[in-house]
Amino acid sequence: MAPKIKRESEKENYSHNKPQTPKDKGEILRIVPLGGLEEVGRNMSYLEYKDEIVIIDMGLQFPEEETPGIDYIIPNITALEPKRKNIRAVIITHGHYDHIGAIPYLVGKLGNPTIYTAKLTKAIIEKRQEEFANAPKLNVVSIEDGYKAKVGQYFELEFFSVEHTIPDSTGVSIKTPVGNIVHFGDFRIDYDEAGEAHGLDVIKRVGEAGVHTFMCDSTNAEEPGRTLSERVIEKNLEILFKSAEGRIILTTFSSMLTRIAEIIKIAEKLGKKVVINGRSMKDNVQISQTMGYIKAKKGTIIPTEEMHKHKDDKIMIITTGAQGESGAGLMRIVNGEHKHIRIKEGDTMIFSSSVIPGNERSVQTLKDNLTRQGALVHQSNIIDIHASGHAPADDLTMTVKLLKPKFFMPIHGYYYMRAANGKNAVDGGLEPENVRLMDNGQVAELTPDSFQVTGENVPAHYIMVDGLGVGDVGEIVLRDRKVLAQEGMVVVIATIDRKNGRILKNPDIISRGFIYLKENQALLDEIRNKIRSIVNRIPRHQPMDPDYLKTLFRDQVGQFIYSKTNRRPMVLPVVIEI
Amino acid sequence: MAPKIKRESEKENYSHNKPQTPKDKGEILRIVPLGGLEEVGRNMSYLEYKDEIVIIDMGLQFPEEETPGIDYIIPNITALEPKRKNIRAVIITHGHYDHIGAIPYLVGKLGNPTIYTAKLTKAIIEKRQEEFANAPKLNVVSIEDGYKAKVGQYFELEFFSVEHTIPDSTGVSIKTPVGNIVHFGDFRIDYDEAGEAHGLDVIKRVGEAGVHTFMCDSTNAEEPGRTLSERVIEKNLEILFKSAEGRIILTTFSSMLTRIAEIIKIAEKLGKKVVINGRSMKDNVQISQTMGYIKAKKGTIIPTEEMHKHKDDKIMIITTGAQGESGAGLMRIVNGEHKHIRIKEGDTMIFSSSVIPGNERSVQTLKDNLTRQGALVHQSNIIDIHASGHAPADDLTMTVKLLKPKFFMPIHGYYYMRAANGKNAVDGGLEPENVRLMDNGQVAELTPDSFQVTGENVPAHYIMVDGLGVGDVGEIVLRDRKVLAQEGMVVVIATIDRKNGRILKNPDIISRGFIYLKENQALLDEIRNKIRSIVNRIPRHQPMDPDYLKTLFRDQVGQFIYSKTNRRPMVLPVVIEI
């Protein structure tokens, strides 16, 4: 039976944590998650004490089925903008888009505050910032393991390294007047091949300083067991590489720089030349090389154009496109649109990645095309050639045991993932009543002995980026897109004589996504007749009311089409008065 | 290294199987797969010898991302319709929609031929047929294990039971003048708890009669290992049921009647009352009860309204909606739309099902809502409470070893799944050159010693069912739906004086799914000005050409909107000449 972890809306919880002596509001630390608590992505939270604010992460969320046509979803900073002068620091935990992606959109609006982050992350966010013409140059302080900084009067930051799939991932302990707030960013436990965990001493040390609240990654909280060792993955990849008789084409997330670095190392060891394909893969590898995270010998990484100079079994192509994204490197190869690379018989295709929910069909199609073109496809559901960057249940429980926080605030993930993480914390010794399952936009008030979620809410609804527009696509537009996608639409245009209310010419009808009208002239004529009869049935003495006419068109033409086809396209009536 | 299994388009293959003495075309058996070979679903194939035809299955495919708004996809029977008089039999292997779903749409067009199928399948297809007003009453011959029938001059059918997730699943061996063609429908191997396989004697017996071609289910061909025993699933479910302190809400596919029957049996044993929720679940349970496949005592299955008469720990609700389908039973409960059932704290929610690719996001949202409402969710990724109905690699290999076919034709699944199945067959002793990876619509010619895929193709493209329309939604309509879903559309309407080519009134602009125009008056005005300037720039002496004007509007307004917004809504120009 699962422990009873209460939602914050349940009353018992408030009473339970009521501080003994209510303090002045000024002496309370507020924690406000703006994103990342009802989704995977869009991670951003802030801490506020008196007139000082520290922000943690500024990520984006990729669009989903419910947001067709959208480029990104970013956090809502309505609550922060008026307080921009109070922002003392922005902490960026690591260089993944769900933690850095909203910086160019938001940092200017927040007064371009100082960003604290590690070296590689700094390089990645600075490079990305350049792509945004109107975004300000970033103020970045480069931090490393053990770096401490006092920011403002009330906050002291202490950074420590955490293990994730990109180098320079950092956790932070924020010393505040109410206690230490610890945030690990995304993390997993680093196991060696023998199953020995590394880096636990760091976690223990952070714990020994005392932890008020642990804000903890929940992405894999539902998965049982421990993290699969990256060493095992590397070993399996090496075995696969050796067994390949032709070229190797490997795809993974371009953000998994730790693994990419290791793959290049193995390739070099096996005497293979490496071709990097896809823009983000090229960018990331280049940055990592410049900064020494990838230490390939000269001549190991070769330009695509030189591939033909080497035998097939000496070639490894590392490419973007593991999710079957249209336009990505692998898709261009498979579709025959790549300038230099085609799939051929004997290629070994390795997916060293998981499939992000929602991308399953694209990946199936991709695998199908690869197999048809003669490649031998390996995926991580058959052998262990991918491990997640997020700690699963047993590791999360262990982390809680080492940290011994007073309060546990699961972040990063849907409610059910965070609820599962609450259970992990309880397994790690926490009292169920000290788990806090918040929603985006909820405001928590912390004293040294309490963590109360108030009834206050700040705006946290989706801000959507679509083309150049930020926030101009809202619910109505999305709803219309979904309706249009289902049954298409029909525009009916009636030109009416203002004087006598009669139809002046044959009604125009345009449809898209409904049925192909050219092949359905009969239906087209029936719709025209319907429009005429609607107009003719209006008594001649009645003044022409175009809005009333539009309503009649919408309802009656819609109903007529439904009766004929069982479909409900969007009907858009236009009345032109002459 | 994988064996070299050649695609049928590769020339070597043809030469390899060239019969020594080319026969009269009349003495050749043709196998034509119409669906199910480039997808999961829409299963239908036929065998043709001289002027006689036998059809196997008539399934539908559920819509996918690429076919928005579509209800179903059904097989293309263009090639069969003119030959309908030749059809001697339709074999239906089992009662799942991907094998029966197209019957009401197609059987009438094919002259309502005799259907051979087992008792339960007969009941299911007859009940469904009643829902289609214009579909003919079916002619069904009820078959059972060991049933033989001579159909026409050239075909003799012999049916045998296979294990799948619905009772009365049947395989068939079709004796033809060139040899026996064996088709197992969907199948898996039935293991007991001790890991002992059952039913292998049947497979062996079929094999001993000699198998020319084995048409083999490939759905799980890529999965390693053997089938998980349904007995283990049942045992795990029983443990879960016993540990639940409140109500149990269990969801699975309503088509998994074998498991549903077993779950009801366990519930009864534990003294629980069972509530059946969701239309297809109710229908299926009722049919199964009537026919004796579910043998619940009177009073075990109770109406929803009587649920309150029993303690929570005596209640089990079995419901549809395991895929998070909107409108399904579980969704109505979770959304608070169900008349009698709400989720409450202490409910144990069990997903005894897998997630169909493409439904991951819906299932995530569903789990989130369930957890928020206080249910404890169990899913098969954590404990074994679901097993697939399709044999994985080792079982497929074993089946080939027992059957010893001359030729192996993987069916049911994407190319990559079928290619993996080819490898399974080779592991089972088949020569790689005797594997046939066909595409839908390809025609194979078989003699006693050969199986050649010809260059001939019959139409096999998607036939889409949308509302009352069958086949009237084509590529253009789907493409438009996808475009509309991405960026919406803008209708620009200019009323022009035919005499002088001048604009008569303020241009009308309607948009949906683009931006909310009411809040973007400035852009609206700019678009109107753009339209005016396009018209004004046309020299007055030039005759008004509405098509030319439309092209200008489409291109220039589209370009203008893009420059302002970086979006490309569909621009639909209307020119009204007065």
Structure tokens at B46: 């036929």
**Residue A383 in this model has a pLDDT that exceeds 80:** no
Q: What is the mean pLDDT of residues A346-364?
A: 89
**Residue B8 in this model has a pLDDT that exceeds 70:** no
Q: pLDDT grade, residue A83 (50/70/90)?
A: very high
> How crowded is residue B297: how many other Cβ atoms within 10 Å of its Cβ?
8
Q: What pLDDT, on the 0 to 100 scale, is given for residue A54?
A: 98
**Could you tell me what percent of chain B has a pLDDT over 70?**
95
β-partners of residue A141 are A116
Q: pLDDT grade, residue A407 (50/70/90)?
A: very high
Q: What pLDDT, on the 0 to 100 scale, is given for residue A20?
A: 43
Cross-sheet strand order for the sheet of B508-512? B508-512, B489-496, B570-577
The answer to which of A521-525, B5-9, B560-564 has the lowest mean pLDDT is: B5-9
Q: What pLDDT, on the 0 to 100 scale, is given for residue B186?
A: 97
Scan residues 510-529 of B and list those with Cβ closer than 8 Å to A: 510, 512-516, 519-520
Nearest to A357 among B364, B376, B473 (CB): B364
Question: For residues A12 and B74, which has the higher predicted lDDT (pLDDT)?
Answer: B74
The answer to which of A154-158, A434-438, B191-195 has the lowest mean pLDDT is: B191-195
Q: How far, in Å, CA of B468 to CA of B530, rounded?
A: 42
Q: What is the mean pLDDT of residues A89-117?
A: 97
Q: What average pLDDT is seen over chain A? A: 91
The answer to which of A49-53, A222-226, B449-453 has the lowest mean pLDDT is: A222-226
Q: What pLDDT, on the 0 to 100 scale, is given for residue B5?
A: 64
β-partners of residue A542 are none
pLDDT for B346-362, tens place per residue? 999 999 988 888 788 88
**Residue A1 in this model has a pLDDT that exceeds 50:** no
Residue A54: which of A104, A7, A11, A90 has the closest Cα?
A90
Report the SS3 class of residue B34.
Answer: strand
> How crowded is residue A1: how many other Cβ atoms within 10 Å of its Cβ?
10
- Give whole-number Cα distances, B460 to A48, A182, B37, B75, B210, in Å: 63, 59, 10, 7, 31
Report the SS3 class of residue A300.
Answer: coil
Provide the CA B349 distance to its chain's centre, in angstroms: 26
Yes or no: say if B538 and B501 are a contact pair by the CB < 8 Å rule. Answer: yes
pLDDT for B128-187, tens place per residue? 999 998 899 999 999 999 999 999 999 999 999 999 999 999 999 999 999 999 999 999
Q: What contacts B406, CB < 8 A, 6 or more positions away?
A: B179, B211, B212, B213, B434, B449, B451
Q: What pLDDT, on the 0 to 100 scale, is given for residue A258?
A: 92
Q: What is the mean pLDDT of residues B51-80?
A: 93
Q: Do B495 and A578 touch (CB under 8 A)?
A: yes
Q: Do A357 and B358 touch (CB under 8 A)?
A: no
Q: What pLDDT, on the 0 to 100 scale, is given for residue A21?
A: 47
Q: What pLDDT, on the 0 to 100 scale, is given for residue B296?
A: 93
Scan residues 108-137 of B and list those with Cβ closer than 8 Å to A: none
- Furthest CA-CA distance within chain A: 92
pTM assigned to the model: 0.88
β-partners of residue B140 are B115
Q: What is the mean pLDDT of residues A199-213?
A: 97
Taking contacts as CB-CB distances below 8 angstroms, the residues of chain A near B469 are 515, 565-567
The answer to which of A61-75, A273-287, A375-389 has the lowest mean pLDDT is: A375-389
Q: How far, in Å, CA of B172 to CA of B180, rounded?
A: 10
DSSP state of A555: I
User: Mutate which of B426, B484, B517 to disrupt the A interface (most A C-beta within 10 Å)?
Assistant: B484
**Could you tell me what percent of chain A has a pLDDT over 70?**
95
Taking contacts as CB-CB distances below 8 angstroms, the residues of chain B near A2 are 376
Q: What pLDDT, on the 0 to 100 scale, is given for residue B20?
A: 43
Q: What is the mean pLDDT of residues A564-575?
A: 92
> How crowded is residue A232: how many other Cβ atoms within 10 Å of its Cβ?
16
Structure tokens at B491: 């209708």
The secondary structure of chain A in percent helix, strand, coil, rounded to multiples of 5, reads: 35, 25, 40
Structure tokens at B308: 């309150």
Q: Is B516 left (phi over 0), alpha (psi -120 to 50) or beta?
A: beta
Q: Do B512 and A484 touch (CB under 8 A)?
A: yes
Domains recognised in chain B with CATH numbers: 21-225+388-470 (3.60.15.10), 230-379 (3.40.50.10710), 488-577 (3.10.20.580)
Q: How far, in Å, CA of B552 to CA of A490, rounded?
A: 22
The number of residues in chain B equals 578
Residue A234: which of A354, A384, A347 has the closest Cα?
A384
Is A94 catalytic? The answer is no
Yes or no: say if A163 and A189 are a contact pair by the CB < 8 Å rule. Answer: yes
ipTM of the complex, rounded to two decimals: 0.83
Q: What pLDDT, on the 0 to 100 scale, is given for residue B16?
A: 40
Helix/strand/coil (H/E/C) assignment for every residue in A59-79 = CCECCCCCCCCCCEEECCCCC
Nearest to A415 among B368, B381, B473 (CB): B368
**Residue A22 in this model has a pLDDT that exceeds 50:** no
Q: How far, in Å, CA of A208 to CA of A205, rounded?
A: 5
**Residue A559 in this model has a pLDDT that exceeds 50:** yes
Q: What pLDDT, on the 0 to 100 scale, is given for residue B21?
A: 47
pLDDT for A321-342, tens place per residue? 999 998 899 999 999 999 999 9
pLDDT for B483-510, tens place per residue? 999 999 999 999 998 888 888 889 999 9
* Tally of helices (H runs) and strands (E runs) in chain A: 16, 27
Q: What pLDDT, on the 0 to 100 scale, is given for residue B25?
A: 67
Q: What pLDDT, on the 0 to 100 scale, is given for residue A327?
A: 86
Helix/strand/coil (H/E/C) assignment for every residue in B143-162 = ECCCCEEEECCCEEEEEEEC
Q: pLDDT grade, residue A515 (50/70/90)?
A: confident
Q: Is A381 left (phi over 0), alpha (psi -120 to 50) or beta?
A: alpha
Q: What is the mean pLDDT of residues B294-304?
A: 94
DSSP per position, B185-219: -S-B-EE-TTS-EESHHHHHHHHHT-EEEEEEE-T
Report the SS3 class of residue A208.
Answer: helix
**Residue B10 in this model has a pLDDT that exceeds 70:** no
Q: Is B152 left (phi over 0), alpha (psi -120 to 50) or beta?
A: left
Q: What is the mean pLDDT of residues A199-215?
A: 97
Nearest to B566 among A467, A478, A485 (CB): A467
Q: What pLDDT, on the 0 to 100 scale, is given for residue B474?
A: 83
The number of residues in chain A equals 578
Q: What contacts A501, CB < 8 A, 6 or more positions away?
A: A535, A538, A540, A542, A543, A544
Q: What pLDDT, on the 0 to 100 scale, is given for residue B389?
A: 93
A550: closest CA of chain B, how far (Å): 13
Report the SS3 class of residue A190.
Answer: strand
β-partners of residue B576 are B495
The answer to which of A18-32, B446-460, B515-529 has the lowest mean pLDDT is: A18-32
pLDDT for A34-82, tens place per residue? 999 998 999 999 999 999 999 999 999 988 778 888 999 999 999 999 9
pLDDT for B99-115, tens place per residue? 999 999 999 999 999 99
Q: What is the mean pLDDT of residues A165-186?
A: 97
Annotated catalytic residue within A168, A217, A347, A395: A217
Is A217 catalytic? The answer is yes
Yes or no: say if A273 and A316 are a contact pair by the CB < 8 Å rule. Answer: yes
Cross-sheet strand order for the sheet of A72-74? A72-74, A463-466, A469-470
Yes or no: say if B415 and B38 are a contact pair by the CB < 8 Å rule. Answer: yes
Report the SS3 class of residue A286.
Answer: helix
> How crowded is residue A210: how many other Cβ atoms within 10 Å of its Cβ?
15
Taking contacts as CB-CB distances below 8 angstroms, the residues of chain B near A576 are 493, 495, 505, 508, 576
> How crowded is residue A257: how many other Cβ atoms within 10 Å of its Cβ?
26
β-partners of residue B450 are B447
Report the SS3 class of residue A22.
Answer: coil
Nearest to B361 among A1, A64, A371 (CB): A64
Provide the CA A222 distance to its chain's centre, in angstroms: 19
Q: How far, in Å, CA of B349 to CA of B252, rounded?
A: 11
Q: What pLDDT, on the 0 to 100 scale, is given for residue A17?
A: 44
Q: pLDDT grade, residue A8 (50/70/90)?
A: low
**Residue B11 in this model has a pLDDT that exceeds 50:** no
Q: What pLDDT, on the 0 to 100 scale, is given for residue B452?
A: 97
Yes or no: say if A302 and A341 are a contact pair by the CB < 8 Å rule. Answer: no
Q: What is the mean pLDDT of residues A564-576?
A: 92
Q: What is the mean pLDDT of residues A167-179?
A: 97
Q: What pLDDT, on the 0 to 100 scale, is given for residue A423?
A: 96
**Residue A25 in this model has a pLDDT that exceeds 90:** no
Q: How far, in Å, CA of A108 to CA of A104, rounded?
A: 7
Q: How far, in Å, CA of A449 to CA of B439, rounded?
A: 68
Residue B342: which of B241, B246, B431 has the closest Cα?
B246
The answer to which of A41-50, A466-475, B125-134, B313-322 has the lowest mean pLDDT is: A466-475
Taking contacts as CB-CB distances below 8 angstroms, the residues of chain B near A519 are 472
The answer to which of A151-155, B399-403, B519-523 has the lowest mean pLDDT is: B519-523
The secondary structure of chain B in percent helix, strand, coil, rounded to multiples of 5, reads: 35, 25, 40
DSSP per position, A431-469: -GGGB-B--TTEEEEEETTEEEEEEEE-----EEEETTE
β-partners of residue B572 are B491
Q: How far, in Å, CA of A505 to CA of A528, rounded?
A: 11
Q: What is the mean pLDDT of residues B504-531?
A: 89
Scan residues 369-398 of A and list those with Cβ closer than 8 Å to B: 370-372, 374, 376-377, 381-382
A239 has a chain B CB within 8 A of its CB: no
Scan residues 490-509 of A and list those with Cβ closer than 8 Å to B: 491, 493, 495, 504-505, 508
Torsion angles phi and psi, residue A192, rounded to 5: -90, 180
**Residue A14 in this model has a pLDDT that exceeds 60:** no
Q: How far, in Å, CA of B488 to CA of A484, rounded?
A: 8
